[in-house]
Amino acid sequence: MDEIQILNGSDPAVIADACRAHSITTEEFSELQSRSAAAKATAYCPYSQFRVGATLLVDTSSSQDSTASTKYVNGANVENASYPVGTCAERVALGTAVVSGLKTFRAIAVSTDVTPPSSPCGMCRQFIREFCDFPTPIFMFDKDGNFVVMKLKELLPLSFGPDSLPSPKDLLAARADKK
């Protein structure tokens, strides 16, 4: 397996290269980094003490509103005494966005208090797949602001997504053909 490269989050040239490669501005990168780091403070994690913050960069390019500005949606992990019931920061952010009518995203940032940066868990990767295209960059920040960036396709190869399902009409027709 290839070694993951951790990028220096305080080097403007490294940041500029990452931004160019993933079609976001350095200002958007800075907002993703600072907002996801700040979102950690809202985490409810009394059992693990593992704070996670996530921020979505909303795609406003298809907005009918010509004054649409860059939008961000934050989330933090919310634990529960019944551990499997807890919700990860990425799913909190995506759920908040979706119920607000926002369903297309240009980038996602995840911040933790550890080094090296942590990636979204498997369940979150699948959840991200529901709403993001394969080229969507996921920026993963460590406690010092250093980062790894990978596209969704790299984090979830051979994924199962909405386009994997036949239409309900096709499924019903296939069932009828078997009778």
- In the residue annotation, 154 being an active-site residue is answered as no
Query: Is 81 annotated as ligand-binding?
Result: yes
Query: Is 83 annotated as ligand-binding?
Result: yes
No. of H helices and E strands in the chain? 6, 5
Single out the catalytic residue among 27, 90, 130, 154: 90
Q: What are phi and psi of 66, to 5 degrees?
A: -70, -15
N- to C-terminal Cα separation, the chain: 48
6 vs 116: CA distance, rounded Å: 8
Query: Is 79 annotated as ligand-binding?
Result: yes
Query: Is 23 annotated as ligand-binding?
Result: no
6 vs 126: CA distance, rounded Å: 24
Query: Is 82 annotated as ligand-binding?
Result: yes
Annotated binding-site positions = 77-83, 88, 121, 124
Q: Which residue numbers belong to the known binding site for Zn(2+)? A: 88, 121, 124
Q: Extract the annotated binding site for substrate.
A: 77-83
Q: Which residues form the catalytic set?
A: 90
